[in-house]
Structure 1
Amino acid sequence: MRVQMLGLCRLSYLGGRGFQVMHETIEERRAFLYDPERLARRWFWFENVTLPGLLAQTDPDFTLILMTGPDLPEPYLSRLRELTEIMPQARLELIPPMEKHLDACLAATAPHIQHDADVVGHFRQDDDDAVAIDYIHDARQDFAVLQPLWERRRRLSCDYSRGLVLKATQKGVLVEPRMIYNAAAGLTVYLPPDAQRSVMHFPHWKIGMSMPGATLPGKVMFVRFLNHDNDSGAIGAGYPWEGDPSDWQALLARRFRIHLDTLDHAARDFSLPGADRPRWGV
């Protein structure tokens, strides 16, 4: 079976619902999302946490939708356009503000569904998290083993549950190895091409209510990056795994092309505490 791998990355999308930080008016939300200092931080994390692993995928056959609003301030809108020119997998979707966030996400993803594929492997790529360089390869290859389970309901999730949590504050970046059940990063939702759903239709923290799933914990497959501008900042259900702290820098470079020293220096320069969220870092 041919599996299309399709990712959705939302970058400061201005719309209703879909987020935990809420605002009374669209003007308040625009001011929050488009604050120049916030946008500068978000772009830095996107460039230094998210993009390196995607650009280094061992299987380059995937599509990444970059979803934002048509009024995203410069220079960031131009930078996204430039990214689509140098990254063959990137597609820019400028979605006007929509009250229903799921409708907005579907509007961004639907034009990129390959209807001649047998299965679409949807994944959510937050703009400050990362997946390992072999994520696309493994998600496509592992489906072959999981196919009988998928055929029961024509829906299936595959959770790569071993990862690293990076926590940025004014003191620098801390690294914590974690097993997290159905974290947003490293979670694939396999659907038929005619499902008329996006990955966002299935909240990752309760995905078991929507479909059967498999957990593959062997490899370090994701980075969950906690920083001042997270929408929630909650780590998610799970527990630590034992690792060698002296290896974190090499592991991040090898598996994600992330340079820990660069993030650590940036966190100190930004000099921001943890976000004011009820479960930030928990």
Structure 2
Amino acid sequence: MRVQMLGLCRFSYVGMRGYQVEHESYDERRAYLYDPQRLARRWFWFTEIALPAWRMQTDPDFTLVVMTGPDLPEPYLGRLRDLEAEIPQLKLELVPPMKYHLKACRAAVAPHIDPSADVIGHFRHDDDDAVAVNYIEAARKDFRRVKGLWKAEGKLSLDYSRGLILRSEKGKVRLIPRICHNATAALTIFLPPDADETALNYDHSKLAQWMPGVAVTRPLMFVRTLHGDNDSGDMGPGLPWQLDEEALNRQISARFGLRPQWLEKIAAGL
């Protein structure tokens, strides 16, 4: 059974729906998302947190669609084009503003669906989060273990729940080990290739309403950031777990391709 792994990352896409922060008009939304200081911070998170592990995936057979608007200000649009040329798995989609956000997301993803695949593993990836370097490999392997659940309904969620919350506030940064069920990072929604939906169609906090789900609580699989630019700054429900500083430094390097000094670099860049 061939599984295509297909993700969507929205980079300051100007749409009127799909976010918790609301604006009254397109111009107001555009001004907010394209504010130069905000774009600089988003680029910092994207390149320093998100990209290292995508470059290092142990299974390179995946597609990550980066969705933004055709009027994204320079130098960021040019930088995204450069990344597309550099990273084979990264595909840039310039989507004009659309009234309905889910249709916009579908428009970005649809050109990259492989109709010869038996299953599409859809995932959403926020531009300031990270997944582990073996996320793609693990998702394929674990899907094979539970594919009977998918066959029964044609929908299945696979949730890697063990992660780190990176909280940045008032110039200080700290990491909080946390088990969070159905957080957006490292969560895969398996659908048929002809489905009209993507991962964005399903509220990750209410997945049980639509499909069976499997939670895999080991190993450490994601970093989720909380800071002033978040659409939602809530850590949400979860369970604490313990990791000493020495082990934490080893894990952030081995699991996410991040250097132990990255927290200081982040703090200095904010």
TM-score in terms of structure 1 length: 0.93
What does residue 78 of structure 1 align with?
78
Q: Which amino acid aligns with 1:101?
A: H
> Contact between 1:8 and 1:109, CA under 8 Å: does it hold in 2?
yes
* Runs of at least 5 residues in structure 1 that lack an aligned partner in the other structure: 271-282
Q: Which amino acid aligns with 1:212?
A: P
**Does the CA-based 8 Å contact 2:16-2:23 persist in structure 1?**
no
Q: 2:6–2:64: 8 Å Cα contact kept in structure 1?
A: yes
1:157 equivalent in alignment to 2:168: no
> In 2, distance between residues paired with 1:145 and 1:247?
30
List runs of 5+ in structure 2 lacking aligned partners: none
Alpha-carbon contact 1:185-1:222 (below 8 Å) kept: yes
* Number of residue equivalences: 270
Shift of 1:233: 1.5
Q: 1:218 maps to which residue?
A: 218
Q: Is the 8 A contact 1:95 1:107 kept in 2?
A: yes
Check whether the contact 1:168–1:264 (CA below 8 A) recurs between aligned residues: no
Native 8 Å contact 1:165 1:226 kept in 2: yes
What residue number does 1:129 align with?
129
Q: CA offset at residue 158 of structure 1?
A: 0.4
Partner of 1:49 in structure 2?
49
Name the structure 2 match of 1:280.
none
Displacement after TM superposition at 1:100 (Å): 0.7
The aligned counterpart of 1:182 is 182
Q: Distance in 2 between matches of 1:266 and 1:134?
A: 24
Query: Is the 1:252–1:260 contact (alpha carbons within 8 Å) kept by the matching residues of 2?
Result: yes
SS in 1 for 2:98: coil
The one-letter code sitting in structure 1 at the alignment partner of 2:262 is T
Q: Judging changes above 3 Å, is the alpha-carbon distance between structure 1 residues 172 and 268 closer, same or farther for their aligned structure 2 residues?
A: farther
Q: Which amino acid aligns with 1:125?
A: H
- What secondary structure is seen at the aligned counterpart in 2 of 1:67? strand
Aligned to 1:247: 247
Partner of 1:63: 63
Aligned-residue RMSD, C-alpha: 1.1
Give SS of 1:181's match: coil
SS in 1 for 2:221: strand
* SS state at 1:220 partner: coil
Partner of 1:6: 6
Using a 3 Å threshold, how does the CA distance of structure 1 residues 192 and 12 change in structure 2: closer, same or farther? same
Q: After the TM superposition, which of the residue ranges 101-110 and 169-178 deviates more from structure 2?
A: 169-178
What letter is aligned with 1:114? Answer: D
Q: What is the one-letter code of the residue matched to 1:7?
A: G
Kept in 1: contact 2:130–2:223 (CA 8 A) = yes
Q: Which residue of 1 aligns with 2:31?
A: 31
Tell whether 2:267 aligns with 1:267.
Answer: yes
CA displacement at 1:263 relative to structure 2 = 3.7
Contact kept in structure 2, 1:172 and 1:268, CA below 8 Å: no
C-alpha separation in 1, matches of 2:234 and 2:100: 23
Answer yes or no: is the 8 Å Cα contact 1:170–1:268 preserved in 2: no
TM-score (norm 2): 0.97
1:218-277: CA deviations, max 9, x gaps?
Answer: 10001111121111022222110122133222211110012352343332442xxxxxxx
Give yes or no for contact 1:8–1:66 (8 Å, CA) kept in 2: yes
